Amino acid sequence: MPLVTEFVSAALEADPSLAGSSDKDKSAISLLDSETVSLAKDLSALNTRLTPITYLYHNTPSTADISLYCRLHPTLTKLSTPASQHPSNPSVLRYFLQIQSLDPVIAARKSHPNSFPLLEIDVSSLPAPPREVIAPVKKEKKDKKAAPAPEPAKEASGIVASATAAVEAVASAAIGVKEAVIGGASEKEASVPKEGKAGKDGKKKEKKEKPAKAPVVKEEPTGPLPSMIDMRVGKVLDVKKHPEADSLYVEQIDIGEAEPRTVCSGLVKYMKEEDILGQTIIVICNLKPVTMRGVKSYAMLLCASQSSGTGEKEGVEFVFPPAGSVPGERIYFEGEKYENQVPEPQLNPKKKVFESIQPGFITLDNLDAAWIDPITKSVHKIRTEDGICKAKSFVGASLS
């Protein structure tokens, strides 16, 4: 949604702190930005998430809150009576009203008056949300009859007698242990028959059975997982030749954040500028930024490539998300183990996460993009909430 990007940018211009103060904050807020599309689709789940918090990230507003506000606006505006959503989703309405009253949102609304107009709701007329009444737990009555208290004199004498008996027992036990140790040392050979030989009674001593070993439980692998990779839908807003490298393009990609990301790609040999401009593609967003001939690149475009027998690439084409996908929409791997996991804010280059996972990227016979687990050989298709990502024409191609 270009309107969302423009509105968030206007709010950020009014209050730059919305983007976060540290690199860690910026990465976390950027990740939340990419989730706002799916968050706005399920009001019930969003209500549960918002109930204990004021803002999506820590205790201050961020661009993620502005983005979510924009994506909630059409839904709440279409309701004939927004107040009807209050009993079932009170936290969503409370959050929406809170965000629309922030100073940077008011400033953005002034510069974009027709984008996300103020939603007038008379809070005093809203019905009170139902509250669950928890019945108190009834305590069972205890028998009030108490045992008669012992007489002080008898109680004291009883304690003394018990203590004396305990001391005598300990002393007696100590003497017994000493005698056993001294006597047992000299009679050890005679009293304990060797294993497999007859004892004094002429009977063969039985071997003790060893306890069965517990089965070894294999631990789940803790190495690189595909769910660690942050993939999102992106749209190419601008593309031009790199001023210092003939084989590189420099693109500006909208991935649903306040500002587009600068990306350097080695596609000059395979695509023309007009083939790239305006395309809706897949972007890998959590690689560590790298400087390529003086231009810093903040992401990577996911492409399918076919190679010759010598290993050289013969052709490269984009992997496309489903039709209708919007910038910032989350892309993930099918499978219960992966689809609900949160990707890393930034991949550690020393751990070689992407390099370990990438060899399993492939396009299937029907052009579906997928990752094949090298150990289990299970196939996990790459998808958005609305469908599978596909290559245009390459079958069995490598993805990178």
Beta pairing class for 303-307 and 398-399: antiparallel
Domain spanning 2-123, CATH class = mainly alpha
Looking up tokens 């204990």, which residue turns up? 52
Neighbours of 293 (CB within 10 A): 13
Polymer length of the chain: 400
Looking up tokens 């399918």, which residue turns up? 304
- Of the candidates 4, 3, 20, 35, which has an alpha carbon nearest to the alpha carbon of residue 232? 35
C-alpha span between 276 and 281 (Å, rounded): 9
The distance in angstroms from the start CA to the end CA of the chain is 27
**Neighbour-count burial for 83-117, b at 16+ CB within 10 Å, e otherwise:** eebbeebbbbbbbbebbbebebbeebbeebeebbe
Model confidence pLDDT, tens digit, residues 70-90: 999 888 877 645 444 455 788
Looking up tokens 């009203």, which residue turns up? 97
State the pLDDT at residue 58. Answer: 83
Token digits of residue 173: 């036990």
Domain ranges of the chain: 2-123, 226-399
Please give the mean pLDDT across all residues of the chain. Answer: 80
C-alpha span between 259 and 5 (Å, rounded): 7
Looking up tokens 């961020």, which residue turns up? 62
pTM: predicted TM-score of the whole model, two decimal places: 0.52
- Alpha helices by DSSP H, listed for the chain, are 2-14, 23-41, 43-50, 63-78, 90-100, 103-111, 152-186, 188-191, 273-276, 353-357
State the pLDDT at residue 213. Answer: 65
State the pLDDT at residue 78. Answer: 74
* Fold match flag (2-123 vs 226-399): no
C-alpha span between 65 and 67 (Å, rounded): 5
Model confidence pLDDT, tens digit, residues 285-315: 999 999 999 999 999 999 999 876 666 777 8
Question: Can you name the CATH fold of 226-399?
Answer: OB fold (Dihydrolipoamide Acetyltransferase, E2P) (2.40.50)
Question: Residue 351 in contact with residue 297, Cβ under 8 Å?
Answer: no
Q: Which segments of the chain have a pLDDT < 50? A: 80, 82-85, 150, 152-156, 159-160, 163, 167, 170, 173-174, 177-178, 180-197, 218-219, 221
CA dihedral 337, 338, 340, 344 (to 10 degrees): 130
